[in-house]
Structure 1
Amino acid sequence: MAWRVTGRFFCTLAAAAVFLVGTSRLHAANTNSAEAPQKASSASAATKTPPNIVIILADDMGYSDLGCYGGEIETPHLDRLAANGLRFTQCYNSARCWPSRAAIMTGYYPQQVRRDTVPGVRSGGSGVRPAWAPLLSEVLRQHGYRCYHSGKWHIDKQPWTSGFDHSYVLNDHDRFFHPKNHQEDGRALPTPGPNDGYYATTAIAQYAVKYLAEHATEYREKPFFLYLCFTSPHFPLQAPQEVIAQYRDRYRVGWNVIQQQRGKRLLEMGLVRNSPPPMEVHLGPPYDFPEAFKILGPAEVKYPIPWNELTPDQKEFQTTKMAIHAAMVHIMDEAVGMVVEQLQKMSVLDNTVIFFASDNGASAEIMVRGDGHDPQAPMGSEKTFLCLGPGWSSASNTPFRRHKTWVHEGGISTPFIVHWPQGITARGELRHTPVHFVDVFPTVLELAGISMPDRWNGEERPEPPGKSIVPLFTKDGTVEHDFFWFLHEGNRAIRAGDWKLVAARGDPWELYNLAEDRGETNNLAAKLPEKVAELESLWNRLWEQYQQDAKRDLPETPASNTKPRKAG
């Protein structure tokens, strides 16, 4: 089947010419057989050469935004990858951009590698990984892979010093049309002018295509790793007006109706068992920026109140915001199509493993930064700064509760698509096995036939928490985890089997049976205090262990955190 990309190419002709150079256990729900052996040979049986690896990340995209996950946004390229690959229904991220990227690229929980907050240690967004925690690119490059990156980074150090042969880094997260801070291979690039036609999502894909074209010409005998990180649909909500117009009428029904429509489709598709929970009408953004509401005006809404209670101006404003979000996802899908089309031109698509996910759930944040917000400018243009907000974020995260930064299901659940024609024998199936971003690292190593040493850079490596999910590429394979652990900004959770213990910052523990209640509406903590105590003890024990991991290579007196957290 040919991959054809319809839509826009937002670059100058000159740029285009450059780009086109050459305790309980989590069981697999889909099988009754014994667990397949997790050895490199099981991955390589389907191919005589190591597969190429492509990891694609969306930014702040909700669980149900894609068409193949129940959404109404047009995403034909990702839908096709899902139809010819696998869709995972219970994949977890780490609730925020930089922690999630650390989990994917190191195979450890972000606190273990100082990429989320650890008390008494420089950590979080300013944290530097221990010497024993290489990035996936550094390992693959040592084993013959060429490595390419394009898009968002949000990891310590720089990609060109971390195993990547080429990298386009978009460090400006406040501008989709005219970034002021972007680099290629460490060289600063100029800010695109008003007539250059630059749009970040398309440019990120074009740089990836450029690197792949060079690979096909100069390094065809080598396998490659492409780490493709879109900034879409992260705020600011900005997109070409003609694409926004395609979606504006679709969202006039409001967020309550969209949530219910998506919930119904998710059930019909067999992706989940629960209907959407009621929107939490008293829960607003995770950070308070009161000045933003003065700038944005009375049409902005701080809470997901019922749609029929909004004023006509509020309905129009909110409708347009979701139309912009949809346009951003739509264009990202086209950008994915550009990359897949290039893989097909290179005749490598069949032996390329493509992973697609979102770094966290949709965002309830509302703020104004960058170049500010001009209320007179067309919404979604470069002169506006808009955020999705809690109403539409609740709809985007259907059928789950809460948003990015929280560790309730809405904040940590992501669509997860794996596509590999030559190696997946169960194409088109769902996988209900719970998995986590920490599983990507060991999965890729198994696919590449690589065994990690016990030491790296002279430092002993802790036992990694992830598992290879390669056995799930077959019809009867299984993967088991003892637990999944979460902590971000005081929001904490642990899942063991179908039990999940979760608490927002400063709140008491809540207990849910996710097999019956993944919407997290029936809190069983008061009825089952023994289970709460058991899971709390496990969470605390692991937290102590992960803090020790973060400090094991540091001097006796650790440095303190030096930078405050930032929203977004």
Structure 2
Amino acid sequence: MRVFLSVLFTSLGLLTASAAEKPNVIFILADDLGYSDLGCYGGEIATPNLDSLAKNGLQFTQFYNTARCWPTRGALMSGYYAQQIHRDELPGLGGGGRGVRPSWARLLPDFLKPAGYRSYHSGKWHIDGPVLEAGFDRSLDMKNQGNFFSSAGNAIDDRPVTTPADEKGYYATVATADHAIGCLKDHAAQHADKPFFHYIPFIAPHFPLHALPEDIAIYRDKYLKGWEAMREARYQKQKARGIVNTELSALEKEVGPPYDFPDAFEKLGSGEINRPLPWDSLTEEQRRFQATKMAIHAAMVDRMDREIGRILQQLKDMGAYENTVIFFASDNGASAEIMVRNGGHDPQAEPGSAATFLCLGPGFSSACNTPFRRHKTWVHEGGISTPLIAHWPKGITARGELRTSPAHVVDIVPTILEITGVEKPKAWQGEAIPEAPGKSLVPAFAKDTTIARESLWWLHEGNRAVRMGDWKLVAAKGDAWELYDLKTDRAEAHNLAAQMPDKVKELEAVWQKQTDDFSALAKKTAHLQPAAPAKGKGKGKKKSGAK
């Protein structure tokens, strides 16, 4: 039987733990990265290391996140929609960034540990509870997400760092890779007989737009032609590669940042704008200001790729590269947000330095999310679409192929459990574990097949959507449902709701049933959730898009 299975898995183009040595697993997560930012997804930013992983592995073209950072991270590591585990809000039930997972909602390391895996975390956390209590053996928790040039407030193995607030030469993206490499070196020296799981969530390219001066210099003048030109160039590359089969979405001039911070514009000056207006209608000052922000964003992505290259080299140096499954994705689409917080913004300081606080904004966010509509927080395609690269020399025989099956971050846990040969328990400490919604993507490793499922579901801050097959029903908060055929219209340009009311009702019923089921599950532990803080003056956030 074992020989038969080995032949079977080999014929499918992959190996599993039952047929070979257990693979290592690395999941790399970017923060606020646009769908088209990587070179292999149409971008002009230099990302040779990630491009190489795609060239020698797989690119998923219809992979989804939850539209926001903390729900995606909770879903990614647990295998459940964030609303099922109190990590995003449900109507009348609360939940979100302060939500606490039920005791049965274990994270991936707890399931891998009995199989002999050691687990490491390097980067942003943004999941409830201490990292080590979630089953990780080592951690660098980048709690300081407001200054890339300081480690103040970060934690190592859940203990605050003792280094000075600002260290000369410190940069968060480099520090994340340094810690990851240190964990890998220690693993090779002390635990070479065990497989590992390493979760590496970079903060980049999340705001504030902070980058090393030498990296910014590479892109300083690259975006002076504007966001329309950038979108068109990326779109043409995507079409030529076969990544998309849709028209290019129209810029939505009336849609700005998702939240209003009017005082930010006083601090940022007359170069800032909050709508994706025609580039040729902007002043010279505005064009330079916007192009500089995009240059810093590009520099952050470029540097992240370089640091990923260092991690890949360490894998090669320790002889682990061939049998390490490497995934790469983003937690949401590029962000249209504009705000000033943390240390504030000095308009006289060099853009991208520690004294500045810049955000990408809706113009270049639209370009980064090419060819899709909207941005982070919305559940239109621009907010929820992410690259997914899967690379595993020893287990995936396909090289440079696209995978078109719709998939979601809830699929990552079952995928990793299958490739590591780990069976998820039915209960945790005597408490039954509810059935998880995700599906293993392993069948798609061998060929471009559609993973069977009833639907994919979204809800974030009143923005809601459901996808069944190629049909998607979507609505921004307060708006009517829109219906799109994603087989040819992922640009969400042709709303079919008025023409197909029965299809709208069908999908709406599916969305509502999912919502009701998630609410019924969440109610069981709602009494264990912390009370929501009272909103004081200035703490409220107002949606400003699509008005």
TM-score range with shorter-chain normalisation? Answer: over 0.9
Q: Which residue does the alignment assign to 1:27?
A: none
Shift of 1:468: 0.4
Whether contact under 8 Å (2:104, 2:428) holds in the other structure is yes
User: Residues 158-180 of structure 1: CA distance to partner in whole angstroms, max 9, x if unpaired?
Assistant: 11111011000010110000132
State yes or no: 1:79 paired with 2:71: no
What is the aligned partner in structure 2 of residue 21 from structure 1?
none
Once residues 322 and 18 of structure 2 are traced to their aligned partners in structure 1, the CA distance between those partners, rounded to angstroms, is 11
Equivalence map 1:215-254=2 (5 Å): 215-254=187-226
- Asked whether the 8 Å contact 1:121–1:558 carries over to 2, the reply is no
Percent of paired sites with the same residue: 55
From 375, 380, 388, the counterpart of 2:352: 380
**Does the CA contact (< 8 Å) of 1:425 and 1:475 recur in 2?**
no
> Could you list the runs of 5+ residues in structure 1 that have no partner in the other structure?
1-35
Change (3 A) 1:191 1:458: same
| Distance of 1:56 and 1:204 partners within structure 2 | 11
Asked whether the equivalents of residues 112 and 547 of structure 1 are also in contact (C-alpha less than 8 Å), the reply is yes
Q: Letter of the 2:52 partner, please give it.
A: R
Measure, in 2, the Cα distance between the counterparts of 1:444 and 1:194: 38
Question: What SS is found at the alignment partner of 1:112?
Answer: helix
Aligned ranges 1:91-170 → 2 under 5 Å: 91-121=63-93, 123-170=95-142
Give the partner amino acid of 2:202. Answer: F
Say whether the 8 Å CA contact 1:405–1:489 is kept in structure 2: yes
Pick the aligned partner of 1:521 from 493, 503, 513.
493
1:499 to 471, 484, 493: 471
Structure 2 CA distance for aligned equivalents of residues 509 and 489 of structure 1: 15
* 1:486 aligned to which of 452, 458, 474: 458
Q: Which runs of 5+ in 2 are unaligned?
A: 1-7
> What TM-score comes out, normalization by structure 2 length?
0.94
Q: 2:504 aligns with which of 532, 537, 545?
A: 532
Residues 330 and 42 (structure 1 numbering): CA distance in 2 closer, same or farther, change over 3 Å? Answer: closer
**Equivalent pair of 1:280/1:304 in contact (CA under 8 Å):** yes
Q: Pairwise mapping of residues 148-547 of structure 1 onto structure 2 (< 5 A)?
A: 148-192=120-164, 196-475=168-447, 478-547=450-519
Amino acid of the structure 2 residue aligned with 1:237: L
- One-letter identity of the residue aligned with 2:468: A
CA distance in 1, matches of 2:115, 2:540: 37
The CA distance in 2 between the partners of 1:559 and 1:175, in whole Å, is 29
1:197-217 deviations in whole A, cap 9, x for unaligned?
000001001000000000000
Q: CA deviation at 1:249?
A: 1.5
Deviations 1:267-313 (A, max 9, x none): 00100011321110110000000000000011001100010000000
Distance 1:412 1:119 in 2: 20
The Cα shift of 1:55 comes to 0.4
TM-score, with length taken from structure 1: 0.90
- The Cα offsets for residues 19-42 of structure 1, whole Å up to 9 and x where unpaired, read as xxxxxxxxxxxxxxxxx99xx997
Q: What residue number does 2:4 align with?
A: none
Which letter does structure 2 place at the counterpart of 1:106?
S
C-alpha deviation, 1:80, in angstroms: 0.3
Using the alignment, how far apart are the partners of 1:294 and 1:100 within structure 2?
Answer: 33
For residues 438 and 486 of structure 1, what CA distance do their matches in structure 2 show?
12
Q: Distance in 1 between matches of 2:465 and 2:24?
A: 34
1:277, 1:399 within 8 Å by CA — same for their partners in 2? yes
The secondary structure found in structure 2 opposite 1:197 is coil
Q: Deviations over 1:65-115 (max 9, x none)?
A: 000000000000000000000000000000000000111101010000100
Distance 1:238 1:45, change over 3 A: closer
Match of 1:226, SS? strand
How many aligned residue pairs are there?
530
Query: Secondary structure of the residue that 2:221 maps to in structure 1?
Result: helix
Distance 2:176 2:197 in 1: 16
2:3 alignment counterpart? none
- 2:5 corresponds to which residue? none
Q: Secondary structure at the match of 1:111?
A: helix
- Please tell me whether the aligned partners of residues 120 and 560 of structure 1 are also in contact (alpha carbons under 8 angstroms): no
Moved more, 177-186 or 282-291: 177-186
Query: Could you say if the C-alpha distance between residues 216 and 126 of structure 1 is closer, same or farther in structure 2, counting changes exceeding 3 Å?
Result: same
Residues 465-485 of structure 1 show CA distances to partners (whole Å, capped at 9, x for unaligned) of 110001111136552121100
* C-alpha displacement of 1:57: 0.2
**Shift in Å, 1:194:** 5.1
Q: Could you report, residue by residue, the CA deviation over 1:229-286 in whole angstroms, capped at 9, with x for unpaired residues?
A: 1000000001111211110121111111001110111000100011321110110000
Contact 1:47 1:351 in 2 (8 A): no
